């Protein structure tokens, strides 16, 4: 057994020649060496980065959960607002229909009132003509002025004095024995 160095290669590798002609390289097992201060510092830095990455991963997962919860809550709010909007639109449509129906009813009542006023005017005109005919025939007829000053007692027998008070004539409708008088407004 002989130890030789192979000089042909750049780094010298110790070899052993065995009796069979086999040459084996002598390799020393690496001895555990003490870590240098720089290696310890770089290992500590790597560990701190690993713990930082782990904490950031946890934070990312927490934020993803919060985002999912917020997104679900936002979707619920959007659906709620959409349903409220639809209900509001339905209420508005119903209110518009009711307003339209009220407007049509008001227009109909206005037309009926106008028709009634026309009928009343025609009736007054006819009553005036009938009064004129009765007067022409010599009948006693109440004047048109008495109808305008009628106080609603149905009697029509009151007389208006200069102060505007209506005095009830004897023999007309009274409350007991006393005569009633009204102030015209």
| pTM as predicted | 0.38
Rounded Cα gap, residues 185 and 180, in angstroms: 16
C-beta separation of 165 from 154 below 8 A: no
Q: Does position 101 have pLDDT exceeding 90, yes or no? A: yes
**Residue 25 — φ and ψ, nearest 5°?**
-85, 140
Instruction: Answer whether 1's CB lies under 8 Å from 14's CB.
Output: no
Residue 118 CA to residue 121 CA, distance in Å, equals: 5
- Kindly report, residue by residue over 15-46, the tens digit of the pLDDT: 665 556 555 555 555 545 555 656 777 888 88
């Amino acid at each position: 057994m002989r130890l030789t160095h192979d000089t042909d290669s750049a780094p010298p590798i110790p070899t052993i020649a065995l009796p069979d002609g086999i040459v084996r390289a002598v390799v020393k097992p690496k001895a555990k060496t003490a870590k240098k201060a720089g290696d310890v510092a770089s290992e500590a830095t790597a560990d701190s980065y690993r713990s930082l990455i782990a904490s950031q991963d946890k934070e990312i997962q927490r934020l993803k959960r919060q985002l999912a919860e917020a997104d679900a809550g936002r979707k619920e709010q959007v659906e709620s607002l959409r349903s409220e909007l639809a209900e509001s639109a339905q209420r508005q449509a119903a209110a518009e229909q009711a307003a339209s129906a009220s407007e049509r009813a008001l227009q109909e009542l206005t037309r009926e009132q106008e028709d009634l006023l026309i009928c009343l005017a025609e009736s007054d005109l006819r009553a005036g003509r009938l009064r004129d005919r009765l007067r022409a025939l010599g009948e006693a007829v109440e004047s048109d002025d008495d109808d305008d000053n009628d106080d609603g007692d149905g009697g029509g027998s009151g007389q208006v004095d200069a102060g505007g008070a209506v005095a009830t004539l004897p023999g007309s409708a009274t409350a007991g024995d006393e005569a009633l008088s009204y102030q015209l407004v």
